[in-house]
Structure 1
Amino acid sequence: MKKKWKWLVLVSLVFFLLANAHLISYLLMQGQGQIEVLWNATSIEEFLNESNDEKLKTKLLIVAAVKRFAKSELGLDSEGLYTTIYDQKGEEILWNLTACEPFAMQSVEWSFPIVGTVSYKGFFDLKKAKDEELNLLEKGYDTRIRPVNAWSTLGWFQDPILSNNLKRSEGRLVELFIHEITHANVYLKDSVTFNENLASFIGEQGALLFLTKKYGSQSTLLKEYLKSENDAQNFVNHCLKGVSDLKKLYSGFTSEMTQKKKESMKDSFMKSWVLKLDSIPFNNPEVYTGRFKDKLPNNAFFMAFERYDSKKSTFDLQLTNEFDNDLKAFIRFYIANSDGL
């Protein structure tokens, strides 16, 4: 009887490995990339002692200040995070692939251990990302590959600072690291839209609070950050309007309509949406206008804004009405109640 059970377990294991060969191969590839980054990261102390780049040194000190601020002013634990730096040598090292139905605002999703179901897939190898993208394109999906500026291992490992991020302005640097530290404190499995919206909202609010406390409410640096935030929000609003309008457009598509007709209507919408960018009063229009000169946006592009920005207005109302604009209390609530949300 024991021998039969052993064979049954062995056969079950073989079938599991065969059924999940692609997932296992992908996880091994990602694990190898993650290990390479962690292994080759340098301690902040060592970098500060050896580097002659004063600008980078200043940015690293800002990251350290952000960690202290996140702990004391926001209640976000950053213990063990960002104590090392990985030198990207100016190169991108990680890319996200997303995909969406061609005539519906429905993202392709992937399921992984620990994080659950997510609507993006990371790659440390750009060629492998493009190979998978080609497979999705052949199935008719809209796709998008973009470099990843940072990522969180959700507290499982000591996340390093990626050197390319130190090129950001101080406000954007603060926003990014508070965003990622938030992921290490609050993360709901199978809830990517909630997770990314919450981290984005806390990152932006936290950056405003950090800059105000450090430089004052009338400082030039804070005013410049507010201008860039205003531009970013105007662009986000235009993108979210695009999501809403595309949903309405696709809801009117019928089974009697030809593929060519659907593609024509979709293409006309995308061109019209891009033209409307010129009417938005950006403080720095060159950042946004002209970015679609060579390629029109697609559904995968628009779904990124659903993923990161669609719920922030709800969080803003909650912060004002329920927490009297006390960001630390707001964060404390989500840390304490994340298991029951």
Structure 2
Amino acid sequence: MRARLALLLLALAGAGCASTTGVGYYWQSVTGHLRLMQAARPVEHWLADGQTPAALKSRLALAQQIRAFAVSDLALPDNASYHRYADLQRRAAVYNVVAAPELSLTLQSWCFPVVGCVGYRGYFSEEDAQAFGRSLDPSLEVNVYPVPAYSTLGWMNWAGGDPLLNTFIGYPEGELARIVFHELAHQVVYVRNDTVFNESFATAVERLGGARWLQTRAGEQAQADYKRFDQRRQAFRALTASVRQHLQTLYRDRTLDDTTKLRRKATIMDDFRRDYAGLRTRWEGFAGYDQFVARANNASFATQAAYDELVPGFLALFEREGRDFARFYDAVRALAARPKEERQASLHGLAGTAMASGATGRP
């Protein structure tokens, strides 16, 4: 059993849970995840415990309703994951480190056993994450950010599965549903060496599932709260997508030298911060994206793109499959079996056709 556990935890390196190369790299992955698993207790134990705060009991009960909905309405896996809860006594499950060149939106990648190459490294310790970021080539733009949850891709269900965590249990109802759906989606389809495909697929599932939950199960207050939150998110997403496009166009311009590109890049970033300040004013001071803007660089924009780039194609595929989740997953598995260039071209084509017809598939 211990040998099996060690082998499986080695694979966490590519699931956002690794630190540095060598023995220490995998050791922190193993010990960090073991501590997380050991902190988890079945939800029913927390609910029966008289010392559990009433507010936490309410959130855990809601999370179990969301978990059941994931199976009954979204055809997501019915297994051990998200039936236990752990309080990690910290603000994040892991801390990811990402890096990109100063004139590129291509993330540096690291390769690991089993799961292949990914565009980030994850640490259980924020201090270790920051130290690794500082150790990278100074020419790279680096971002270190907290991650509320990660998936073990179903490998750990035999040992209790991925638990609910204090790092996200307090999220607004719609967001709590979305994060559970996103992480479960990684247990449905995962492709080696294709972070954009994996994250875009899970993001599509979370959006589709979150919309269905809100429409059919959430109360009026939860729907109103989510609508206000999502309007802000859509506005910010549109702003950052525009910035990414401007940066990508600039970086690909072969008629400009690097000095000119850097100067124009600085102007684009100044405009981004100004435009964000305008959004923030209209949001009556809502500061939810302040940290992203303060840290914004090529690495953070490239990371965001990994979660968004192929989502329109997946949403269009969902529509093509009659909005049936089981059929949708089968179609995604078929795509996953094709070469990377082919599956991405297919998804871009689906998105373009949907846009041309006006059927975007947006939940």
TM-score class normalised by the smaller sequence: 0.7 to 0.9
TM-score of the pair, normalised by structure 2: 0.79
- d(CA) in 1 for partners of 2:211 and 2:281? 20
Whether contact under 8 Å (2:250, 2:261) holds in the other structure is no
1:323 aligns with 2:315: no
Correspondence for 1:59: 59
Superposed displacement of residue 41, structure 1: 1.6
Q: Deviations over 1:26-83 (max 9, x none)?
A: 1221111111111222221221121431121111112211221111111111301022
Whether contact under 8 Å (2:105, 2:248) holds in the other structure is yes
Equivalent of residue 215 in structure 2, options 198, 212, 215 = 212
- d(CA) in 2 for partners of 1:283 and 1:49? 44
CA RMSD of aligned residues (A): 2.6
Superposed displacement of residue 278, structure 1: 4.2
SS of 2:294's equivalent in the other structure is: coil
Structure ID, larger Rg = 1
Superposed displacement of residue 168, structure 1: 0.6
Superposed displacement of residue 318, structure 1: 2.6
- d(CA) in 2 for partners of 1:79 and 1:290? 34
Q: Deviations over 1:275-298 (max 9, x none)?
A: 122455997453358826983521
Correspondence for 1:250: 251
Correspondence for 1:124: 124
- d(CA) in 2 for partners of 1:78 and 1:265? 51
Superposed displacement of residue 338, structure 1: 3.8
Superposed displacement of residue 148, structure 1: 0.8
TM-score of the pair, normalised by structure 1: 0.84
- d(CA) in 2 for partners of 1:38 and 1:59? 20
Whether contact under 8 Å (1:234, 1:282) holds in the other structure is no
1:308 aligns with 2:307: yes
For these two proteins, the number of residue pairs brought into alignment is 315
Q: Deviations over 1:200-225 (max 9, x none)?
A: 11112101111221147xx3322331
SS of 2:285's equivalent in the other structure is: helix
Question: What amino acid is aligned across from residue 40 of structure 2 in structure 1?
Answer: A
Correspondence for 1:139: 138
- d(CA) in 2 for partners of 1:305 and 1:103? 17
Relative distance call for 1:55 and 1:336 in structure 2 (3 A) is farther
Q: Deviations over 1:232-280 (max 9, x none)?
A: 122112112111110111223668544xx54433222101112122455
Whether contact under 8 Å (2:46, 2:52) holds in the other structure is no
Whether contact under 8 Å (2:39, 2:88) holds in the other structure is no
Structure 2: runs of 5+ lacking an equivalent: 1-19, 344-363
Correspondence for 1:159: 162
- d(CA) in 2 for partners of 1:92 and 1:281? 25
- d(CA) in 1 for partners of 2:332 and 2:62? 26
Whether contact under 8 Å (1:179, 1:202) holds in the other structure is yes
Correspondence for 2:290: 291
Whether contact under 8 Å (1:75, 1:332) holds in the other structure is no
Equivalent of residue 173 in structure 1, options 172, 176, 185 = 176
Identity over the aligned pairs, expressed in percent? 24
Whether contact under 8 Å (1:274, 1:292) holds in the other structure is no
Question: What amino acid is aligned across from residue 248 of structure 2 in structure 1?
Answer: K
Superposed displacement of residue 111, structure 1: 0.5
Correspondence for 1:75: 75
- d(CA) in 2 for partners of 1:285 and 1:304? 28
Question: What amino acid is aligned across from residue 220 of structure 1 in structure 2?
Answer: Q
Most deviating of 283-292 and 101-110: 283-292
